[in-house]
Structure 1
Amino acid sequence: MIRLPLIPTLIVAAAVAVMIWLGLWQLDRRAQKEAALARYAAAQGQAPIPWPEQVDPRDPPLFRRSGLDCHAVAGWREESGRNLRGEAGWVHIAECRTVEGSANVVVGWSSRPDRPNWRGGQVAGVIGPDRSRTIRLIAGQAPAGLLPARPPSLEDVPNNHLSYAIQWFFFAFTALVIYFLALRRRAR
């Protein structure tokens, strides 16, 4: 009979329990992501909504059509992005002042990071994710000198939680195998 060392056994058991819990958590996250993707797919066919000034970061209205009136451009930033043809380049994001606050608007795309000469106006498009404000509006039509930027796509939303769960379960199994091999070697 193999006598189990107490402290190493407790450490391995705790590590395996945490890895199994992480795998189960990833399976739960997978179900949550699938529900969100179903909501996003349904949102694409719904009627436009007014631009939401306040957004719940846990449930943003992504993929909904919306619009706003950009009274003035307070600033610009450029990010790498694609146009409707899939060409890589720069998307031009205006920080727009609105009646109730401000919003980020992807005005359009170009092959160069040069700032466009756009001062604001009515913008209609699709709501997409934004790193700094949770959401931004991707304009459906671009002003002169720019091409329309590619709107958000469901294919861009990763759902790799199943592979993460499998990894955690594999790590737990591997830890057990290594521990039992170490115990066997110790017993010799």
Structure 2
Amino acid sequence: MFKRMIFPIVIGVLGCAILIWLGTWQLQRLAWKEGVLAEIRAEIGAEPVPLPEVIDASMKYLPVEATGEIGDEELHVLVSRKQIGAGYLIIAPLTLDDGRRVLLDRGFVRDMEKDAERAGGSVTVVGNLHWPDDMNSSTPAPDMTRNIWFGRDIPAMAEALGTEPVLIVARDSTGAGIDPMPVGIEGIPNDHLQYAITWFSLCLVWFGMTLFLLWRIRARTD
């Protein structure tokens, strides 16, 4: 009887060992990811600096302060907010005091306020540089007739508004009726705990199946 049990025991032990290793690895990844998120959170909330003259994507999340004039042109990005519903992010050009033009994400307005008039003018903006991961292969092209975009495509938006391909996401209000949506870590996935629970749960199932198989072998032998 014991000889018949050797193979199931070996398979059971190996399977449990692999699943426990996978779960432990995910817990290690969880600790690493939480450290990364803590660094990003600290970087986002740091004291703003003047907008650098030379900007690249490595400056993502950099807190900046810029003074300039908000232009009348707008691009509207279709989004949805929990407990609110559909609405639009308002992307406008910001002409700085030194003549540079950059993109400004002013924040969110509800669907019915898409085409409402909004105050522009001189403003000092505190926000974060951002290169959002809004676009993928399935994102539709913008509806230029209705001025509806389906993601913040920085190069295309910069071309449409005649600005540098640089986006500042405002932390605070830049006008009445606009709800700022500052950069945060909410959109950064961190599913390692769920993965760890899944692997450990599978280990318990594997262990239970192994015990059941051994019981069946012993019952048949008896």
Q: Give the residue type in structure 2 aligned to 1:142.
A: T
Structure 1 segment 30-45 matched on structure 2, within 5 A: 30-43=30-43, 44-45=45-46
Structure 1 segment 25-174 matched on structure 2, within 5 A: 25-43=25-43, 44-48=45-49, 50=51, 53-56=55-58, 61-62=60-61, 64-66=62-64, 75-81=75-81, 89-94=86-91, 105-112=104-111, 114-115=114-115, 124-127=126-129, 130-132=132-134, 137-139=168-170, 140-143=172-175, 146-153=177-184, 159=190, 161-174=192-205
CA deviation map 1:138-171 (0-9, x unaligned): 2233346x41323244567665533532331232
CA deviation map 1:20-67 (0-9, x unaligned): 2321221122112221232133221333363684325xxx743x4225
Partner of 2:162: none
TM-score, normalization by structure 1: 0.62
Unmatched 5+ residue regions in structure 1? Answer: none
Tell me how many residue pairs correspond in the alignment. Answer: 178
Is the contact made by 1:75 and 1:95 (CA closer than 8 Å) also made in structure 2?
yes
Moved more, 148-157 or 112-121: 112-121
Q: Distance in 2 between matches of 1:80 and 1:173?
A: 39
Q: Distance in 1 between matches of 2:214 and 2:100?
A: 67
Identical amino acids, percent of aligned pairs: 21
Partner of 2:144: none
Q: Which has the higher strand share?
A: 1
Q: Distance in 2 between matches of 1:158 and 1:95?
A: 28
Is the contact made by 2:63 and 2:127 (CA closer than 8 Å) also made in structure 1?
yes
Q: Offset at 1:175? A: 0.7
Is the contact made by 1:16 and 1:175 (CA closer than 8 Å) also made in structure 2?
yes
Q: Distance in 2 between matches of 1:5 and 1:26?
A: 30
| 178 and 143 in structure 1: CA distance in 2 versus 1, 3 angstrom threshold | same
Unmatched 5+ residue regions in structure 2? Answer: 135-152, 155-165
CA RMSD of aligned residues (A): 4.5
Rg (Cα) greater in structure? 2
Q: Give the residue type in structure 2 aligned to 1:4.
A: M
Q: Distance in 1 between matches of 2:92 and 2:19?
A: 43
Is the contact made by 1:89 and 1:109 (CA closer than 8 Å) also made in structure 2?
no
| 182 and 94 in structure 1: CA distance in 2 versus 1, 3 angstrom threshold | same
Q: Distance in 2 between matches of 1:121 and 1:89?
A: 29
| 8 and 54 in structure 1: CA distance in 2 versus 1, 3 angstrom threshold | farther
